[in-house]
Chain A
Amino acid sequence: GQQLNQSPQSMFIQEGEDVSMNCTSSSIFNTWLWYKQDPGEGPVLLIALYKAGELTSNGRLTAQFGITRKDSFLNISASIPSDVGIYFCAGQTDNAGNMLTFGGGTRLMVKP
């Protein structure tokens, strides 16, 4: 089945630093979604990407849909303590009934 490789698995950074994480796949996806999950909560949608090459921002977050449709990255600029959490990428294909394939997650820790 399809698999998403998300890296890094965890990051421990200083407040104010920029963060970058990415997902790669052996299969093509038509949509890439990035979620953030706080402890004990459900994932919250951060950014949705629909076209290959698309670059989308949401505040300090920027995500890109890779041109090959097999990868995506998420950048967080000037990190703050509330950025702490687990970030998941998810890919979606049109012929999979809107199902999502999730990456393994990136655990972000920010030191004030």
Chain B
Amino acid sequence: GAVVSQHPSRVICKSGTSVKIECRSLDFQATTMFWYRQFPKKSLMLMATSNEGSKATYEQGVEKDKFLINHASLTLSTLTVTSAHPEDSSFYICSASYPGGGSYEQYFGPGTRLTVT
């Protein structure tokens, strides 16, 4: 149980275009999903918290107009990188919150490698 998928796993796009990344909880309903960015050999950096049916909460320094998040259902959240630039190239990982033994554990998707040329 608690499986999270992400699509696509890899994407290469040209500078100026937009890219959409999907995050799905496959066997549970997730009221909260999280989007992270990870640079090489670094820890995960939280970008935003996405709650189903409401606006996402962005971390300080993350541009909400550039990283559009939609959480339209209890099993799907999307991250759209708008007008992508080479500096947006990174590994993007989503997670979904699942009630565990005493709290809400986060289960992660496999990640999406974005390369902007």
Interface set of A (CB-CB < 8 Å, partner B): 30-31, 33, 35, 40-45, 48, 50-51, 88, 90, 92, 94, 97-100, 102-105, 107
Contact = CB atoms under 8 A, between A and B. Distances in A.
Contact of A50 (B6, B44, B102, B111): B102
Interface in B75-117: 91, 93, 95, 97, 100-111, 113
Contact of A33 (B42, B105, B111, B113): B105
Nearest to A41: B110
Nearest to A105: B43
Interface of B: 2, 4, 6, 32, 34, 41-44, 46, 49, 57, 91, 93, 95, 97, 100-111, 113
Main secondary structure of the interface of B (DSSP, over half): strand
Contacts, number: 66
Contacts of B103: 30-31, 48, 50, 92, 94, 98
Given A41-B110, A42-B6, A98 B32 contact: yes
B43 A99 contact: no
